[in-house]
Structure 1
Amino acid sequence: LLGEIALELSIGAAIGVAVGWLGAYGLRHVALPASGLYPIAVMAIAVAAYAAGALAHGSGFLAVYLASMLLGNAKLPHWPATRGFAEGLGWIAQIGMFVLLGLLVTPHEMGDDIVPALVIGLVLTMVARPLSVVAGLLPFRIPWQEQVLLSWAGLRGAVPIILATIPMVSGVAESKRIFNIVFVLVVVYTLVQGPTLPWLARKLRLGASSGASDLGIESAPLERLRGHLLSVAIPEGSRMHGVEVGELRLPPGAAVTLVVRESKSFVPMPTTVLRLGDELLVVATDPVRDATERRLRAVGQGGKLADWLGVDDGGREHRTQHRTGL
C-alpha cells in the first residue's frame, strides 16, 4: 500500500510539473487572437494536468496542484485577467460548495447542539489551539505576535464541514450530531473571528510594511514581430514617481511608446516626468523582454538611485560598499 501511494504521488508530481512548465512555455510563445482566450487556456491546461495524472494512474489532484502552482508563478501574458478569472471561478466554487453543504443541515435539529458547540469552540480557542500552536512552533522561534494571531484563527471554510460528512457517509453513530456541532463551530468562527483578524493583526503590528508598491506589469506577445507589449501601471508608493523616461535606462531594444495620464494618452519625450497613476506602454524585443521588466521593477523600488542603492534587476535590495578611496 505504501509503495502504491508513493508511486501515484510520484507520477502525479512528474506529470504536474511537466504540464505546468510546458503550458507556461507555450502561452508565453504563442500569440492567441484574443486576450480572453488566455484564462480559458490556463484552465484547459489545469484540466489536462488532472486528466493526464488520472489516466497515468497517478494522483490527479497533485498533478493539477503543481501545474497550477507553476502557471500561477509564471510570467504569463495578460496575467491580471487570468488571475481575476481564476479568482472568480474560485469564489463560484466556494459559494456552490457552501450551498450544497447547507442542504445537509436541518435547522430545527441543531437546537440541542448549539450550546455544546459553543463550549467546544471556547475550549478550542482558549486552551487547545494556543497550546498546539506553541508546541508546534517551539522549534522555529516564531515571534509571539504571530503565535497569538495563529492561536486566534479558528476553523473557517468548507473543509471542516466536508470532513464532518465522512462519519455520516460511513454510518458512524451520532455522526449527524458531529456534523451539526462542526457546522455551528464554522459559522461562529467565521462570524466572530474572521472580521477581527485584520484588527488583531494591526494591534500586533503584523500589517504590511509601508514600502514601495510593486509595479503592475502585463505582457502581450507580438508573435509575428517577435516582441512584447508591456503595460506598466505606477501604483501608490512606487519610487518611479518623479523619474524621467530617459532615466529609466531601458536596455537596447526596449522603449516607452505611450503614456496614459488622467485618461489622456501622449507619446513621451526622454524628459517626460512620470507620475503616480500613469500607465506606460513599453515595447520590447523578445531577447530583452525579461531584462526590461527587471529594470522597470528595479526603478519602481529604488527610483533614480536604483543602481546606487544596490537594487538589482531582480528587485532585491542588498547592501553594497562603494569604494571611493575616502
Structure 2
Amino acid sequence: MNTTVTVALAAGAVVVLVAAVALRLADRLGLPSLLLYLALGVVIGESGLGVQFEDYRLTHTLAYAALVVILAEGGLTTRWGDVRRAIGPGVALSTVGVVVSVVVTGAVGVLVLGYDWGFALLVAAVISSTDAAAVFATLRRLPLPRRLAASLEAESGLNDAPVILLVTVLAESLTGESTQPWWLIGLVVAVELAGGAVIGVGVGFGGAALLRRVALPVAGFYPLATLALCILAYSSASLAHTSGFVAVYLCGLVLGNAALPHRAASIGFAEGMASLAQIGLFVLLGLLVSPGRLADAVGPALVIGGALLLIARPLSVVASLVWFRFPWAHQVFISWAGLRGAVPIVAAIIPLNAQVPGATTVFDTVFVLVVVFTIVQGWSLPWLAQRLRIATPVTPRDVQVEAAPLEELDAELMQLTVPEGSRLHGVYLPELRLPEDAAVVLIVRDGRSFVPGPTTRLMRGDQALLVSARGSRAEAERRLRAVSRAGRLATWRGESGAASGTD
C-alpha cells in the first residue's frame, strides 16, 4: 500500500510539473493550456503509456469538485465594478442564449445528421455551455472593453448551472426516468437557480463579515478560509436542492470584492488551486477518452460545431443582447468568443452515467468538437479583436491594497504598490489627505527601504506600508484609489475612489 501511494504521489508531482511547462509553451503558442493538458492525459492513457481508465462515476465526482474550485476562483478574481453593468447581459446569455443555442443546434442535428429530437437536443445541450476556465484564461490576456469581457465572464460563470440541469433532465427523459411536463421542469430549474443565488450571496456576505471580525492565528488560514466559504456555499446550495454552481460563483464574487484581511494572498491562493484543478481535470478527461473511436466522431463534431459557431451562437447572442445596446462589433466578438472547454466534456459524462443509448457517441463528438474549435477560436480571438477595432489597451491606474489586522492595536496594516500609469506618481504624502489616524510608515523603492517624511513623493513602482485605525481603513483605501485614478485633485474631479470600474 505504501509503495502504491508513493508511486501515485510521484506520478502526480510529475504530471503537475510537466503541466506547468506545458502552460509556458501554451502561452508562447497563444493556445489555451487545456489542449496541452488534454494531450498529456491522452499520452498517459491507453494509446500512450497504456494506463487504462474508464471510471465515469469517479471522473464525474472529481470533475464536479474541480469545477467548484474553478468557479470559485472565477468569482474571486472578477471585479464587481466590471461585472455590475454586465450582469444583465451575462444572465441573458446564460439563460435565453442557452435555450436558443440548444434549439437551433438540435434542429441542425435532426435535419442534417438524422438524429431524433431527444438525442439531438441532448447533444446540443451538452455543448451549449461556455467554459469558465477557458474564458477566464483567454480573455484576461486580451485588452478588451470591460463591459464586453465582463459579460463573457459572467456568462461562463453562470451558464454551467442551467446547462448541467438541462442535460440531466434530457438524459433522464431519454432513459424514461423523468416524465414531468416541460413547463414544470422549467419552473423547477428557475427555482433552483434563484435559490442557489440567494444562498451564494448570503454565505458570501456572512463569510466576509466573519473574516473581518475574527483574527486568525496564522495568516495562511485566511486564503484557506476564503476558499472553504466558497465550497460551503456550493455544498449548502446542493443540499438544499438548489444550484451549487451558481452559489459558488456568486459567493466568490462577493468575497473577492469585500475588504478582507490578506485579500491579495487569498486570491493568489485561489488562482493556484484553480490551476491545479484545471490540470487534474483536463488530464483526467484526456485519460478517459479512447483515441481509436475519435475518427468516427470527426464528421458529426464538425457539423454540430459549425452549426453552433456560425448559426446558433450568433442567433443566441442577438436574442440575448437586443435589449442591452451592445455595438454590433461587440456582438460579433461575443458570438465568436463562446469558448468551449472542460464543462461540455464533463456534461457529456452525465449521459454515460445515466446509460443513455448513444452516450459514447455524445462524449466522443463533444471531445473532438472542443479540441478543434478551441484551436480555431483560441488563435483567432486576438486577430478578430484587432479587426473589429475593439482592442483597447488600458494602462492600470488603480491600486490594489492588501490589509492585515493588528488585533491588539485595533488597527490595520495595509500594503500597496504604485502601478504604471497611476497618478499617485509624483504626489507628496500630505497631498494624499489620508484620515488623521492613517499614515504611510515605510516605502520600499528600488530595493531600498526608508521612512518617509512630509516632503516624500510617491513614485511608480514604489511599495508602501500604511497603518490606520480599523475604522478608517475603508476611507484610506478610497482616497488612495481616487488619487491613483484622478490625481491630487481627485475630489474636485468627482472621483470618489469607489471600488468599481467603468466601460
Tell me the TM-score range normalised by the shorter chain.
Answer: 0.7 to 0.9
| Map of 1:172 onto structure 2 | 356
In the TM superposition, residue 204 of structure 1 has moved relative to its aligned partner by 2.1
Q: For residues 9 and 126 of structure 1, what CA distance do their matches in structure 2 show?
A: 29
In the TM superposition, residue 275 of structure 1 has moved relative to its aligned partner by 0.7
Is 2:343 aligned against 1:159? yes
For these two proteins, the number of residue pairs brought into alignment is 318
Q: How does 1:50-61 map to 2 (within 5 A)?
A: 50-53=234-237, 60-61=244-245
In the TM superposition, residue 116 of structure 1 has moved relative to its aligned partner by 3.4
| Map of 1:321 onto structure 2 | none
Contact 2:336–2:377 (Cα < 8 Å) also in 1: yes
Is 2:480 aligned against 1:280? no
Look up the equivalent residue of 2:285 and give its one-letter code.
L
| Map of 1:314 onto structure 2 | 498
| Map of 1:85 onto structure 2 | 269
Is 2:448 aligned against 1:238? no
Q: Deviations over 1:99-145 (max 9, x none)?
A: 22223311111112223322433343333322332333233331111
Look up the equivalent residue of 1:122 and give its one-letter code.
G
Distance 1:25 1:154, change over 3 A: closer
CA RMSD of aligned residues (A): 2.7
Aligned residue for 1:280, secondary structure, equals strand
In the TM superposition, residue 263 of structure 1 has moved relative to its aligned partner by 0.8
| Map of 1:101 onto structure 2 | 285
| Map of 2:226 onto structure 1 | 42
Q: How does 1:260-299 map to 2 (within 5 A)?
A: 260-299=444-483
Q: How does 1:189-268 map to 2 (within 5 A)?
A: 189-210=373-394, 212-268=396-452
The structure where helix makes up a greater share of residues is 2
Aligned residue for 1:296, secondary structure, equals helix
Aligned residue for 1:140, secondary structure, equals coil
Aligned residue for 1:256, secondary structure, equals strand
Q: For residues 234 and 350 of structure 2, what CA distance do their matches in structure 1 show?
A: 24
Q: For residues 67 and 316 of structure 1, what CA distance do their matches in structure 2 show?
A: 18
Q: For residues 173 and 5 of structure 1, what CA distance do their matches in structure 2 show?
A: 25
Is 2:263 aligned against 1:74? no
Look up the equivalent residue of 1:169 and give its one-letter code.
N
Aligned residue for 1:306, secondary structure, equals coil
Look up the equivalent residue of 2:436 and give its one-letter code.
P
Structure 1 window deviating more from structure 2 (155-164 vs 41-50): it is: 41-50
| Map of 2:71 onto structure 1 | none
Q: For residues 187 and 86 of structure 1, what CA distance do their matches in structure 2 show?
A: 26
Aligned residue for 2:415, secondary structure, equals strand
Is 2:319 aligned against 1:135? yes
Q: For residues 317 and 469 of structure 2, what CA distance do their matches in structure 1 show?
A: 51
Q: Deviations over 1:163-188 (max 9, x none)?
A: 22233333333332222121111001
Of 489, 496, 501 in structure 2, the residue corresponding to residue 305 of structure 1 is: 489
Q: For residues 138 and 50 of structure 1, what CA distance do their matches in structure 2 show?
A: 32
Structure 1 window deviating more from structure 2 (179-188 vs 49-58): it is: 49-58
Contact 1:212–1:239 (Cα < 8 Å) also in 2: no
Higher relative contact order at CA 8 Å, sep ≥6: structure 1 or structure 2?
2
TM-score, structure 2 length as denominator?
Answer: 0.58
Aligned residue for 2:299, secondary structure, equals helix
Aligned residue for 1:40, secondary structure, equals helix
Structure 1 window deviating more from structure 2 (106-115 vs 230-239): it is: 106-115
Q: For residues 171 and 45 of structure 1, what CA distance do their matches in structure 2 show?
A: 34
Contact 1:291–1:313 (Cα < 8 Å) also in 2: no
Contact 1:30–1:223 (Cα < 8 Å) also in 2: no
Distance 1:134 1:22, change over 3 A: closer
Contact 1:29–1:223 (Cα < 8 Å) also in 2: no
Look up the equivalent residue of 1:49 and give its one-letter code.
A
TM-score, structure 1 length as denominator?
Answer: 0.87
Q: Deviations over 1:206-225 (max 9, x none)?
A: 23453552102111111110
In the TM superposition, residue 89 of structure 1 has moved relative to its aligned partner by 1.3
Look up the equivalent residue of 2:361 and give its one-letter code.
R
Distance 1:307 1:85, change over 3 A: same
Q: For residues 140 and 208 of structure 1, what CA distance do their matches in structure 2 show?
A: 21
Structure 1 window deviating more from structure 2 (289-298 vs 68-77): it is: 68-77
- Larger-gyration structure (1/2): 1
Look up the equivalent residue of 1:274 and give its one-letter code.
L
In the TM superposition, residue 202 of structure 1 has moved relative to its aligned partner by 3.0
In the TM superposition, residue 39 of structure 1 has moved relative to its aligned partner by 0.6
Aligned residue for 1:103, secondary structure, equals helix
Look up the equivalent residue of 1:210 and give its one-letter code.
V
Look up the equivalent residue of 1:26 and give its one-letter code.
L
In the TM superposition, residue 43 of structure 1 has moved relative to its aligned partner by 2.3
Q: For residues 9 and 141 of structure 1, what CA distance do their matches in structure 2 show?
A: 26
In the TM superposition, residue 244 of structure 1 has moved relative to its aligned partner by 0.8
Q: For residues 367 and 196 of structure 2, what CA distance do their matches in structure 1 show?
A: 33
Q: For residues 193 and 315 of structure 2, what CA distance do their matches in structure 1 show?
A: 33
